[in-house]
Amino acid sequence: MPDANDLIAADVDLQGRACRKLGSPLYADLMAAAAAEAARGGIVAQILLPLAYEPAGSAITLRLFGAVHRLALTGAAPDLAAAYPSCGGDPTAMTANELWSAFENACRANESAITARLGQAPQTNEVGRGVALRGALDLAVGAARLPVRLVEIGASAGLNLLVDRFALRWPGGSRGPASSPVTLDDAWTGSIPDDVGLSIVERGGCDIHPLDATAPDDALTLQSFVWPDQRTRLDRLRGAIEIACTTTSSVKNQSADEFLAEIAPTSGIHTVVQHSVMWQYLPDDVRAAATGELERLTRTATPDAPVAHISLEPPRTADDADVDFRAARRHGGFIVSAGCAPYFDDHVVGYCPPHGPPAHWL
């Protein structure tokens, strides 16, 4: 059996490399130091030891760093907060050694509180993905132009059910309310989807671990998993939480297949099912059952009761017939798809980075 410290160090190192690639030099530097410390069996290895043999994809490093970020956000780790932009801090005011010492000391002083948070899988309910979902929604809804019932599987706290309340801006255009507390700049490139006068009359979703963005503790959880030097992402999240407090929607504690099984096409309503960066995490049996439910909805849709399916997901197989992989990599790597029964089948309509702007439309 591999050494636990080595496994932890490898996970932390891999996550740090991903953070650097995705625009978080603060976490990248901290994780490089944490990986070296974990290999020596220090506090990071001690805290993560119970999770050392968790399956790949369990995000044990992000669980730890999210728990520590939570401490900084609540004032329980003031020295670290002084370096975290999310808390009003400045990482350039510290040397690399000082930054690592602040993180290490926060871990040692709050080990029991951190350990208690490790069961929480990372959730950020990435609001930036709204640039992909809003455009796909406009493309799908344009086929029928009826009032929309928007439902989301794997919805987390349901913030992307509020996508029509976000302000999208790009050179030469905009969409959504200009006064929105969520502004998504440089939202779109390519063949901009038409404005179809979107009218959402019902919103709901499901998640196996739903959060309530209107509850202070859950709102703090969402913020803690945003990387602290990515202020734009955090500002979007905080703005979406503000909208959630004034908008009626609900997220059930339910699996995707069970939730979809309760939905049926409705006369005079355009049902839209959306999801983003969740499909690959479904167990095989749930994914198969959810696919069957989506096929049922498609078969039973009518012009008076259409059903759309929109998504932002990574490419699933190397032989996807309608994916231009070079274009996908050039525009962020993830695939935006849309279909609307009985009008047109699911197909690729654009590409987008995993955290959002810009979405590029075909």
pLDDT tens per residue, range 184-234: 999 999 999 999 999 999 999 999 999 999 999 999 999 999 999 999 999
With respect to residue 278, please indicate whether it lies within any of the assigned structural domains.
yes
Is 83 in the same domain as 157?
no
pLDDT > 70? residue 248: yes
Are 315 and 325 a contacting pair, CB within 8 Å? Answer: yes
Segment 171-198, tens digit of pLDDT: 999 999 999 999 999 999 999 999 999 9
Among 65, 87, 117, give the residue marking a domain's end: 117
Domain count of the fold of the chain: 2
- Beta partners for 313? 335
Query: 274 with 207, same domain?
Result: yes
Tens of pLDDT along 6-15? 999 999 999 9
**Same domain flag for 106 and 251:** no
75 within domain boundaries: yes
Tokens 């871990």 found at? 107
Whether 188 and 304 map to the same domain: the answer is yes
Instruction: Say yes or no: 194 and 317 in one domain.
Output: yes
Query: Has residue 238 got a pLDDT over 60?
Result: yes
Is there a domain that residue 197 lies in? yes
The reply to whether 224 and 276 lie within a common domain is yes
Q: Are 298 and 150 found together in one domain?
A: yes
Q: Which domain holds residue 112?
A: 4-117
Pairing type for strands 148-153 and 200-207 reads parallel
Please state, in angstroms and rounded to a whole number, the distance separating the CA atoms of residues 263 and 192: 31
> Does residue 117 contact residue 63 with C-beta atoms inside 8 Å?
yes
Counting residues of the chain whose pLDDT is more than 70, the rounded percentage is: 98
Closest CA to 315 of 307, 324, 306: 324
Same domain, 51 and 148: no
CATH number of the domain residue 328 falls in? 3.40.50
Residue 305 gets which letter from DSSP?
B
Find the angle CA(282)-CA(20)-CA(160) to the nearest 5 degrees. 40
Residue 89 Cα distances to 28, 86, 223, 240, angstroms: 17, 7, 16, 23
Q: Is residue 33 part of a domain?
A: yes
Q: How would residue 31 be classed by pLDDT, with cut points 50, 70 and 90? A: very high
Q: Are residues 84 and 170 in the same domain?
A: no
Same domain, yes or no, for 327 and 264?
yes
Q: How far is residue 19's CA from residue 27's CA, in Å, rounded to a whole number?
A: 6
Given a cut of 60, is residue 140 above it in pLDDT?
Answer: yes
Is the pLDDT reported for residue 317 higher than 70?
Answer: no
In a domain, residue 122? The reply is no
66 within domain boundaries:
yes
For tokens 């975290």, the residue is: 84
| C-alpha pair distances (Å), 154 with each of 165, 243, 255, 292, 301 | 20, 20, 8, 17, 23
CA 46 – CA 102 distance, rounded (Å) = 17
What is the average per-residue pLDDT within 53-71? Answer: 94
Say what the pTM is.
0.91
**Contact of 343 with 144, CB cutoff 8 Å:** yes
3-state secondary structure 65-80: HHHHHHHHHCCCCHHH
Measured in degrees and rounded to the nearest 5, phi and psi for residue 238 equal -65, -35
Report the run of H or E that residue 16 belongs to, with start and end. helix 4-21
Assigned domain for 206 exists: yes
Q: Are residues 99 and 224 in the same domain?
A: no
267-285 in b/e burial notation, b at 16+ Cβ within 10 A? Answer: eebbbbbbbbbbbeebeee
Do residues 226 and 266 share a domain?
Answer: yes
54 burial level (CB within 10 Å; 0-12, 13-18, 19+): middle
CA angle, residues 14, 20, 25, in degrees to nearest 5: 125
Round the average pLDDT of the chain to a whole number and report it: 94
Asked if residue 271 belongs to a domain, the reply is yes
Give the distance from CA 341 to its chain's centroid.
Answer: 27
Domain boundary among 117, 146, 177: 117
Q: Which of 83, 117, 151 is the last residue of a domain?
A: 117
